């Protein structure tokens, strides 16, 4: 589970993880936000109307959902179950409210928070990205502060002041979480080492 204020570099880092680490997939969220330039439906998000989103909430189709920067975002239960069945580790790129909701039911997940080196640098990155208007950027900075206040709900903090270093840190977290005792199949231990 990865959260970060927008502009912290999370999307770039997630793309690199998906490309380099085997057997890991991103859960594509549903959103009522308008697609940005270059975004593809069902790849970056599944873009839906507010009415469609509300109907999905009523039918209990989300593992979690939240309002972020004035738009609705949600993780599809069906998509999670499918990836899980197929044996993938799943990256959820969700905000702090969503992560806190999921923590109640999803106790074996790893919660990672990516931080920008400072709010000033975050603002510069958002301006350089040229995808959001000035007032949207101001709202994102305010939201970033509120999100960072939840840092303690996460298992790991990665500060993205160098993409290379932040990637290496994320990679280490994923590799070590795959080595957790809880992920070992007892039958495998039994067969290989003849112990119960
Ligand atoms: P953006 O609009 O910049 O792609 O994403 C804005 C924020 O929404 C990001 O912090 C991202 O993590 C969050 N987000 C994306 N998908 C979901 C989701 O399914 N659930 C929740 N709770 N947050 C999401």
Q: Which of 36, 94, 112, 145 for a ligand 1 pocket mutation test, highest count of atoms within 8 Å of Cβ?
A: 94
pLDDT at 8: 85
Domains of the chain: 2-179 (3.40.50.300)
Spatial separation of the C-alpha atoms in residues 100 and 50, rounded to whole Å: 23
Spatial separation of the C-alpha atoms in residues 72 and 52, rounded to whole Å: 11
Q: Output the residue whose Cα is nearest ligand 1's atom 24.
A: 94
Three-class secondary structure of residue 196 per DSSP: coil
pLDDT at 131: 81
Cβ distance 110 to 155 under 8 Å? yes
Cβ distance 21 to 172 under 8 Å? no
pLDDT at 106: 87
Q: Which of 13, 29, 139, 153 for a ligand 1 pocket mutation test, highest count of atoms within 8 Å of Cβ?
A: 29
Minimal CA–CA distance to 112: which of 39, 22, 24, 19? 24
CA of 1 relative to ligand 1 center, distance in Å: 12
- The answer to whether the CB of 75 is under 6 A from ligand 1 is yes
- The answer to whether the CB of 27 is under 6 A from ligand 1 is no
Cβ distance 18 to 135 under 8 Å? no
Q: Output the residue whose Cα is nearest ligand 1's atom 12.
A: 94
- The answer to whether the CB of 74 is under 6 A from ligand 1 is yes
Q: Output the residue whose Cα is nearest ligand 1's atom 10.
A: 95
> Which atom of ligand 1 lies nearest, measured to the CA of 66?
22
CA of 134 relative to ligand 1 center, distance in Å: 19
Minimal CA–CA distance to 29: which of 86, 79, 71? 79
Spatial separation of the C-alpha atoms in residues 126 and 111, rounded to whole Å: 24
pLDDT tens, residue order, the chain (196 aa): 888 887 888 989 999 999 999 999 999 999 999 999 899 999 999 999 999 999 999 999 999 999 988 899 999 999 999 999 999 999 999 999 999 999 988 888 999 999 999 999 999 989 998 888 899 899 889 989 999 999 999 999 999 999 999 999 999 999 999 999 999 999 999 999 998 7
Q: What is the pTM of this model?
A: 0.90
How do strand 24-26 and strand 89-91 relate by DSSP bridges?
A: parallel
């Amino acid at each position: 589970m990865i959260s970060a204020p927008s502009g912290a570099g999370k999307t770039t880092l997630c793309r690199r993880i998906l490309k380099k680490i085997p057997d890991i997939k991103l859960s594509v969220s549903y959103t009522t936000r308008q697609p940005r330039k270059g975004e593809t439906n069902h790849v970056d998000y599944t873009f839906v109307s507010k009415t469609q989103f509300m109907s999905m909430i009523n039918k209990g189709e989300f593992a979690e959902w939240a309002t972020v920067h004035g738009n609705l975002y949600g993780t599809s239960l069906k998509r999670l179950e499918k990836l899980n069945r197929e044996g993938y580790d799943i990256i959820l790129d969700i905000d702090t409210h969503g992560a806190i909701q999921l923590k109640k039911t999803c106790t074996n997940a790893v919660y990672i928070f990516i931080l920008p080196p400072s709010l000033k640098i975050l603002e510069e990155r958002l301006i350089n990205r040229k995808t959001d208007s000035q007032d949207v950027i101001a709202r994102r900075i305010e939201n970033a502060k509120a999100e960072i206040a939840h840092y303690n709900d996460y298992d790991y903090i990665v500060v993205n002041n160098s993409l290379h270093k932040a990637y290496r840190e994320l990679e280490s977290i994923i590799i070590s979480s795959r080595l957790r005792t809880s992920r070992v199949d007892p039958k495998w231990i039994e067969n290989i080492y003849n112990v119960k």
